[in-house]
Structure 1
Amino acid sequence: MLGRLPLDEQLAGLRSVLSENEILTDVLARTATLALPNWYVTAGCLFQTVWNVVTGRHPADGIKDYDVFYFDGGDLSWDAEDAVIKAGRAAFAGLPAEVEIRNEARVHLWYEQKFGVRCPPHGSTEAAIDCFAATTCCLGVRLEPGGRWRVYAPHGLSDVFNLVVRPNPVLAPREVYETKAARWKNEWPQLTVLPWPDPDPARTTAPPY
């Protein structure tokens, strides 16, 4: 199994598996032409491609959209991000999938309103990827000059290959993790979904007096 291989072989295996999804490789190639600062294709389109290949499904099955993150801290206006989104809309025209582009430098401006918890400003695209609701989701890939793949995987790749969904309680609320995990489990029944960690008993137990 790929999840038990040495890391360098896992990386080679990841590229091989992801390359089976022709939509994904097209998204990577077209995103590279946009020259976005510190960009990655990330989230579900990556680990769900792996899940599909590992379970013998078509590589693109069940993938709702393809997420592109970039980081531009020099202009936090909606107008600047919207201009990038419109440029992306032109670049991705004709693809049989939805591509969502987001400036991770702006997430703290709208996150609390959407999810009910405060999000400190991210310092990079990698910092934003670190905050996904599941560690299994913390994965980003981009194309660099010469065709090299840059892979960001702060929690490694074993869980991704082994179909394990592990909570990441650093930002997203518990209900976000559990809702996503339930949806994924319904789509990929082979998944092992680990529970959200209970609060530290030392912080919740009344003092002995």
Structure 2
Amino acid sequence: MSDLSVSDTGRLDAILRADPGLMHVLTTMRGLDVPDWRVFSGAVYQNVWNHVSGRPVGYGRKDYDLGYFDPDTSWDAEDVVIKRVAAAFDEPFRSEVEVRNQARVHIWFPDHFDEPYDPLPDTDTALSRFVAPAFSVGVRLEADDTISVAAPFGLEDMFAMTLRPNPNRPCAKGWDKIVASARTRWPELTVVERQAD
């Protein structure tokens, strides 16, 4: 994991706590005792981009992506967790919180994204495989009310509103679509394309 500065994590903490919807999701999830869980992707980086660009809290957010890790890779076991999480929320959160067992990603990812995907040992390792460092940030509300942060590439790209391909994996097949979608909502993004080898 990358070393995270206290100032960056403190800044992220303040931004996330200013989003009542996200805090509701984090607080509810903490009470469910789901193993090795994190909220990641848009629920985190979009909050930062909105803060940096002066947009309202929640702008551009479609859902709350939530990963957890259970060595039982059966669909039935994951479905139990999905239903338990859904039952803990009222609408609109029930429809917006998307839960996936990270231990199962290697089962469906190749067919869905036409890319290979090795099995994961835990939820935080999944972050190192996300398509861009700015997306590779996960958070969890701990028992002592701190927000723990996992960010294998650090927080610099996220705060700088910079999109660059993950240097540790092939560029995502849908990279151009990902960039176009993000630029539609945050046109001031800086996009750094991967250099040819």
CA distance in 1, matches of 2:117, 2:11: 34
Match for 1:151 among 149, 152, 161?
Answer: 149
Q: How far off is 1:172 after superposition?
A: 6.1
CA distance in 2, matches of 1:159, 1:120: 25
Q: Once the two structures are superposed, what CA deviation does each residue of 1:118-161 show, in whole Å capped at 9, x if it has no partner?
A: 11101110111110000111100001111121110111112111
1:93 and 2:110 are equivalent in the alignment: no
Q: Once the two structures are superposed, what CA deviation does each residue of 1:55-88 show, in whole Å capped at 9, x if it has no partner?
A: 1111101101101100011x11000000100011
Q: How far off is 1:49 after superposition?
A: 0.6
One-letter identity of the residue aligned with 2:76: D
Report matched runs for 1:35-184 at 5 Å.
35-73=33-71, 75-96=72-93, 98-171=96-169, 173-184=171-182
Q: Is the 8 A contact 1:131 1:172 kept in 2?
A: no
Q: Is the 8 A contact 1:134 1:177 kept in 2?
A: no
Where does structure 1 lack aligned partners over 5 or more consecutive residues?
1-5, 201-209
Q: How far off is 1:171 after superposition?
A: 4.2
Q: Is the 8 A contact 2:133 2:158 kept in 1?
A: no
CA distance in 2, matches of 1:66, 1:128: 16
1:9 aligned residue: 7
CA distance in 2, matches of 1:49, 1:89: 23
Q: Secondary structure at the match of 1:146?
A: coil
Q: How far off is 1:105 after superposition?
A: 0.2
Q: CA RMSD in A?
A: 1.5
Q: How far off is 1:174 after superposition?
A: 3.2
Q: Is the 8 A contact 1:43 1:67 kept in 2?
A: yes
Q: Secondary structure at the match of 2:32?
A: coil
Report matched runs for 1:196-207 at 5 Å.
196-198=194-196, 200=197
Q: Is the 8 A contact 1:140 1:153 kept in 2?
A: yes
1:207 aligned residue: none
Where does structure 2 lack aligned partners over 5 or more consecutive residues?
none
Q: How far off is 1:169 after superposition?
A: 4.6
Report matched runs for 1:186-201 at 5 Å.
186-198=184-196, 200=197
What is the aligned-residue identity percentage? 40
Give the total of aligned pairs: 193
One-letter identity of the residue aligned with 1:59: V
CA distance in 1, matches of 2:178, 2:89: 26
CA distance in 2, matches of 1:126, 1:49: 20
CA distance in 2, matches of 1:23, 1:170: 32
One-letter identity of the residue aligned with 1:79: D
